[in-house]
Structure 1
Amino acid sequence: MDDTGGKSDYHLIDMATKGEGAIHTAFTNQVAYCDANGAPITARICSAILAVVEGERSNALIERIRSWQGAPLADALPLRVAGGIHALHLSGDAPELSPIYRGVPVDDARIVEEVIFGHEAQLLSWLDGPPQTNEAGRSSNFAAAMLWLADQGLPPRFECLEIGSSAGINLMMDRYHYDLGGVMVGPEPGAMHFAPDWRGAPPPRRDIKIQSTRGCDVAPVDLTDPAQALRLKAYIWPEHTIRFERMEAAIVAASERKPDLVRANAADFVEAELAKPQESGTTRVLMHSIVWQYVPEDQQERVTAAMEAAGARATAERPLAWVALEANRTVHRHELRVRYWPGGEEGTLLARSHAHGADIDWLAG
């Protein structure tokens, strides 16, 4: 058995694949990914969409999917369409979807085809931008990474910068409480409480403080706007009911004090923030989760160059760290990787985790 858990058809998936066969690969990989992460209903929706796309009927939505010019897997094309369909279900505009979302065995392709052709105009707009999968549970990985960084000798006061912040839910992590394998972090009870299923040794026990958080997004979401909040809810996999509860808690927290979130692309934001003075005795951290695949290649290069240049100037009193939680499509898990300057430039794989933070496999010892 290979490291995909037996799913050899999905081994070494190239996220940047375009051209012939890329649409089919993107959808089948997304189905496998959903199944591997406890989302069978979302898998059913994605599989049904593919059946319609590969069928004989056509409309503007179907043709736009078939002729997708980008890399459909990196662009999360299946989840764009699935998000639009889920929104129709949540709003009650497509009651015929109800059996699928209740988990009832039905002819998924027939129902989804009916919805695609009956709600073409509403669904088309969902193709215009990537999913906003802002999930608070992923911040458990950020908290664990900060514990580890403090254990490496970096100052335990963190100035956090996040790219692809969406609604800024993870920017409010200083208000959350974490139980990470028995290691407690954050105020108790906190605006939200996270206790992921922890596997492996616990993370280091260190007293850490989140000094500040600031983030950017090319299309930031205002959680206090009900219409924008509904769009975020549509991207929540319906099987994960706790995520809806977390979204409501995040809305309350944002209503009390909005996160520090600006409209900017990743490269402009990182370059501007790294140019600002850094307080002595603080660790400046760039963090992101399920974002890198959406950042254009030229911006990825600028962010990397800016981080490495700032890292070369970093000192023990003013260190720099890069914490990334991104998908590994070959194992259908997310990987928590950390680089820091000075001393940890080469990077370390700290953990593998569930897509939405339900469990964490700690690998760092």
Structure 2
Amino acid sequence: MGDRPGYVLMDMHQKGEGMVRKAFLNQVAYCQHAGAETTARVVEAILSVLESDTSNALLERIRQWQGAPSADALPLRITGGIHSLHLSGEAPELMPIYRGIPADDQAILTELMIAHEAQLMPWLDGPPQTNEAGRSSNFIAAMLWLAAEGLPAKFECLEIGSSAGINLMLDRYGYSLGGVNVGLPVPVMRFDPEWKGPPPPSQAIEIVSTRGCDIAPVDLTDAREALRLKAYIWPEHTVRFDRMEAAIRAAKDRAPDLVKMNAADFVEQELQQPQDEGVTRLLMHSIVWQYVPEDQQQRITAAMEAGGAKATAEKPLAWVKVEADRTVHRHMLKVRYWPGGEEETQLAWSHPHGAEIEWIAG
């Protein structure tokens, strides 16, 4: 496809002519920036097929996407489906691409998207499930900061877009965050992200409960559902597959508290529940907000601000998010809390999978 353009700033919710192409080109640039060259290669190959004369129901559905292709993460929907065919061994012709061997990518993807049309079509029906345990490091760092701000160091954690609930098991993990150690001495998983900047505050914290929601929750104990989740993992990031296996074992030991519900209903419901004194109620989410419909975003924000207005020093409310700033191809760890910290504060820049954290909060 020649020289690859960089990321083009645009309205994520824009629809219409030319937006599918822009979404795919932006996804290529985004993957490259995140060190995911193989995924970028697959996305680019899919686009080359879309821009050819080849046609079937699958390709036409993508070409004539009715929603906003960027907000809907259309490129990653179909890329996940293709990766699943590789992981399951059903498409050996993909081997050169996933092993980094030169090949005629367009020809391979053309044949595959015709031969596996029926299998790939359902992958377009919903957004990617990007559940990554490494993002828990951000949530823990934010809790350390909140405790240093004077909030109770006991946390009741609520998560939206929980997918399989891997981050709901964050109390079973161990962390080394800029030299600050948190968590179990013998954890299910241990995280030691590359840390830049000063360390977070060293505080004793306790997670008293975790509960989450997803519109299509994944059962990690179901092999087929687990394979689907693995398909959304970028193949370059091999450590993430090891983490997924560890999360599967943990879920089989004790399933996370996860309900099927949309994000706005969940937040409104949970904020109505009684809150113990001396416990900070914390809403958290990572790489989710872009998939939440705008009306639900407004409801969640309104519910949090209304809950914040009633919060007290003994029963505070906090909101921690790890979401993309696509103007700079990076993710931000941001926090709001009530009472006292109503304005949003950025604590760090974070790699989307938690591999690196640049702490800027001091």
Q: Give the TM-score normalised by the residue count of structure 1.
A: 0.97
Q: Equivalent residue for 1:114? A: 111
Displaced runs of 4+ in structure 1, greater than 3 A? none
Secondary structure of the residue aligned to 2:244 is helix
Residue 130 of structure 2 is matched in structure 1 by: 133
Give the conservation status (yes or no) of the 8 Å contact 2:284–2:320. Answer: yes
Cα-to-partner distance string for 1:273-318 (whole Å, 9 max, x where unaligned): 0000100000000000011111111111111110000000000000
Partner of 2:357: 360
Secondary structure at the aligned position of 1:350 is classed as: strand
Residue matched to 2:262:
265
State how far apart, in whole Å, the 2-side matches of 1:98 and 1:79 are. Answer: 19
Q: 1:91 aligns with which of 76, 85, 88?
A: 88
**1:64 pairs with 61, 80, 100, which one?**
61
In structure 2, give the amino acid aligned to 1:233: K
Q: What does the per-residue CA deviation read over 1:249-282, in whole Å, with 9 as the maximum and x for residues that have no partner?
A: 0000000000000010001100000000100000
* 1: CA distance, partners of 2:78 / 2:97: 16
Match runs of 1:160-199 below 5 Å: 160-199=157-196
Equivalent residue number for residue 152 of structure 2: 155
Cα deviation code 1:60-106 (max 9, x no counterpart): 11111111111111111000000000000011111000000001111
**Residue number in structure 1 paired with 2:211:** 214
Q: What is the aligned partner in structure 2 of residue 289 from structure 1?
A: 286
Q: Deviations over 1:177-222 (max 9, x none)?
A: 0000100111023000000000000000000001100000011010
Partner of 1:103: 100
- Give the Cα–Cα distance (whole angstroms) in 2 for the partners of residues 105 and 204 of structure 1: 48
Please tell me whether the aligned partners of residues 13 and 329 of structure 1 are also in contact (alpha carbons under 8 angstroms).
no
What residue in structure 1 maps to residue 241 of structure 2? 244
CA change 1:8–1:80 in 2 (3 A) is closer
Is the contact between residue 312 and residue 342 of structure 1 (CA under 8 Å) also seen in structure 2? yes
RMSD: 1.0
Shift of 1:13: 3.2
Aligned to 1:10, the other structure's residue is in SS state coil
Equivalent residues of 1:157, 1:282 under 8 A apart: yes
Letter paired with 1:193: R
- Asked whether the 8 Å contact 2:316–2:338 carries over to 1, the reply is yes
Aligned equivalent of 1:4: none
For residues 90 and 7 of structure 2, the distance between their equivalents in structure 1, rounded to whole angstroms, comes to: 35
Q: Deviations over 1:15-47 (max 9, x none)?
A: 112112211111111111111111100000000
Question: Residue 18 of structure 1 aligns to a residue in which SS?
Answer: coil
Could you tell me how far apart the structure 1 residues matched to 2:67 and 2:358 are?
33
State the partner residue of 2:70: 73
Match of 1:317 among 314, 317, 321: 314
Matched, 1:124 2:121: yes
Structure 2 match to 1:224: 221
Structure 1: 5+ residue runs without aligned partners?
1-6
Contact kept in structure 2, 1:13 and 1:330, CA below 8 Å: no
Q: Are the structure 2 counterparts of residues 9 and 100 from structure 1 closer, same or farther at C-alpha, using a change threshold of 3 Å? A: closer
Deviates further, 180-189 or 158-167: 180-189
CA distance in 1, matches of 2:70, 2:9: 13
Task: Give CA deviations for 1:307-331 in whole Å, capped at 9, x if unaligned.
Answer: 0000000000000000010111121
Structure 1 distance, partners of 2:31, 2:186, is 31
The answer to whether residue 327 in structure 2 is matched with residue 330 in structure 1 is yes
What is the CA–CA distance in structure 1 between the aligned matches of 2:336 and 2:8, rounded to whole Å? 26
How many percent identity over aligned positions? Answer: 71
